[in-house]
A and B are shown apart, each in its own frame.
Chain A
């Protein structure tokens, strides 16, 4: 049984700046891992390290427990943060070229290229130069290059950035399918709602350190804070439940969002609300991934 990708105690320094401070993470086959963190937290550096594009100052990048080398990398698919293909090369040929660089035979590479162009709705653009494609289509082309050779590991740096909602849906489907076929998938994103939808697991980094790692639901439950949504008709403006440990986070269209400690009894909040007016909406639960993220790195 493959254990997939493992980063172990990975360290990278740029002068005095520690970009990666003993970062560790694990993505098994068939798993989708969301890689989160504010800009400059070290996500891109960690992902580039998987492909040997960063000279590490310490730690290991492992595949199935063995140090990753070129032979392993050929079975990985990569969408770099810095997107780029040959601008003047035809799209179809470009896909075949990268497929072949990853070890596919000529016929296999051609078949895979046309299959992916079809799936990503680029079938009629195979002969176009990449520079002639729209931004969105260039993004799809980049994805096709990463997927073409049926990689065992997919590393995608901000794959959702700049996509329209339709493309977001397609990409989310593709990623789920890739995981379902057995690929290990690691991707970074700032669209946390999306990550919450797509992924089971996340790693959150900040200032080069892992600040949280695990199953999303598990992490949310473990949070010391809870989220309360409330809509009370007839309550005076600016009303807040008079319960210790509860504070407002925001309000919109008459709905109130509150943050509370995990030990606060939601019944008490509900009772207070009933005293103020008619309760038409009440919600209680762990923080969303976005809230958790802000809690951890805010």
Chain B
């Protein structure tokens, strides 16, 4: 049989069998509930925003009411704070006593460092209503008194942390599926029959691809729900973060391929009595180490040397690169280098694992020490 046909058959069996398993259904539902639930929670907590807007005296009659009416569709309220002078307004802004200062004489809405588009829209609508003007000409120009903060926005931090965590979890969970699949085949001894008709590397590839496609499907489902909620405005996040979120998908594929192949080899090396968990441990520890190294390095200095190194180092790249892309942006060459290095590592690992797999799977009973497996692999 051609290798591709065997790989396809093996992958299809993995997908079919797992789609039916309760574990898959439950994990999918739990993920969807988590995403949906966190959104609902976000919605509840952000039920009503109150904006504090400074206005220099004198305040025209009806301004407060007009602003409140304009704020209503946004589930927000506006509190006016009357300030004595432009200097006082500037001071209030800098101290963050107010979110913005409305300078009616200048037709300007002044923020401290970043423009809040929702408040800008509310103020614009309120002032227009007060002046009985018609759209679309804007009533107000926005401005800031300080340069944008170097500090990351909260949303970027959330996306980076959640993205890295999601990747870590998915590598570990789907990797565990790979290990348990391999251990099951070895334990039930069906592997002897399989390998009489399928090359070990085809069996390995089919298993990794099948589970990977399932994982990708699950991830797309969850990410799709997240994207819909984002589009519906459930999250208070800037639109450009969608791009960072999108990076999670290709890096899932790359990182999963890397770690799943390693997991498969670990499963093959396990003894028949060993359970999947202990077999998976070396790889899971590596994965956790990669995650924490990335986490520490990026939180310490997202643009530092270590963070840059970990962005391209194959074992950490799948976790660090999407996170850094959300936080600070990653130059194109670094993307290219990271992808190239990960691909090279995957190819090397597939070759090694394919050989270890064959020897490990057929090594009945006792486990096979990696060194012995490596020696055996080199002989063939």
Contact = CB atoms under 8 A, between A and B. Distances in A.
Given A55-B380, A101-B9, A84 B197 contact: no
Interface in B250-264: none
Contacts, number: 63
Interface string B173-213: 00000000000110011111111111100000000000000
A1 interface: no
B188 A84 contact: yes
B132 interface: no
Contacts of A83: 189
B193 A98 contact: yes
Interface residues of A, number: 27
Q: Is the interface of B mostly helix, strand, loop or mixed?
A: helix
Contacts of B134: none
Contact of B379 (A55, A80, A85, A89): A55
A166 interface: no
A101 B197 contact: yes
B330 interface: no
Contact of A100 (B9, B185, B191, B193): B9
Contact of A86 (B1, B188, B198, B362): B188
B240 interface: no
B1 A103 contact: yes
Contacts of A52: 195-196
Count chain A CB atoms within 10 A of each CB in B188, B191, B199 and give the residue with the most: B188
A245 interface: no
Contacts of B40: none
A53 B362 contact: yes
Given A74-B1, A97-B13, A101-B9, A53 B195 contact: yes
Given A55-B379, A55-B380, A101-B9, A85 B196 contact: no
Interface string A101-142: 111000000000000000000000000000000000000000
Interface string B266-298: 000000000000000000000000000000000
B190 A85 contact: yes
A108 B85 CA distance: 89
B364 interface: yes
Contacts of B1: 70-71, 74, 101-103
A76 interface: yes
A86 B18 CA distance: 13
Given A74-B1, A101-B1, A51 B188 contact: no
Nearest to A130: B188
Interface string A58-77: 00000000000011011010
A53 B196 contact: yes
**Which interface class (under 10, 10 to 19, 20 to 34, 35 or more) fits B?**
20 to 34
Contacts of A85: 188, 190, 193
A82 interface: yes
Instruction: Kindly name the residue among B1, B197, B380 whose own CB sees the greatest number of chain A CB atoms within 10 A.
Output: B197
Given A70-B1, A74-B1, A97-B9, A86 B196 contact: no
Q: What DSSP secondary structure best describes chain A's contact surface? A: loop
Given A89-B17, A97-B13, A145 B197 contact: no
A86 B190 contact: yes
A160 interface: no
A101 B198 contact: yes
Contacts of A73: 196-197
B349 interface: no
Contacts of B188: 84-87
A98 B191 CA distance: 12
A78 interface: yes
Contacts of A78: 193, 196
A88 B13 CA distance: 12
A82 B364 contact: yes
A87 B189 CA distance: 10
Contacts of B379: 55
A51 B197 CA distance: 8
Interface string A40-53: 00000000100111
A242 to B, nearest CB: 55
B372 to A, nearest CB: 13
Given A53-B362, A73-B197, A101 B192 contact: no
B199 A84 contact: no
Interface string B32-73: 000000000000000000000000000000000000000000
Contact of B199 (A70, A76, A87): A70
A83 B191 CA distance: 10
Nearest to B379: A55
A83 B17 CA distance: 21
B192 A80 contact: yes
Contacts of B362: 53
B197 A98 contact: yes
B155 to A, nearest CB: 44
B6 interface: yes
A53 B364 CA distance: 11
A73 B197 CA distance: 6
Contacts of A101: 1, 6, 9, 194, 197-198
A154 B362 CA distance: 21
Nearest to B376: A55
A80 B185 CA distance: 14
Contacts of B199: 70
Interface of B: 1, 6, 9, 13, 17, 184-185, 188-199, 362, 364, 379-380
The 9 tightest CB contacts between A and B, nearest first, are: A84-B189, A51-B196, A82-B189, A80-B192, A84-B190, A84-B188, A78-B196, A101-B197, A87-B188
29 contacts: A51-B195, A53-B192, A53-B196, A70-B1, A70-B199, A71-B1, A73-B196, A73-B197, A74-B1, A74-B197, A82-B192, A84-B188, A84-B189, A84-B190, A84-B192, A84-B193, A85-B188, A85-B190, A86-B184, A86-B188, A86-B190, A87-B184, A89-B17, A97-B9, A98-B193, A98-B197, A101-B1, A101-B197, A103-B1
Given A51-B196, A84-B188, A87-B184, 14 more contacts: A52-B195, A55-B379, A70-B197, A73-B197, A74-B1, A80-B189, A80-B196, A84-B190, A85-B190, A86-B188, A98-B197, A101-B6, A101-B197, A102-B1
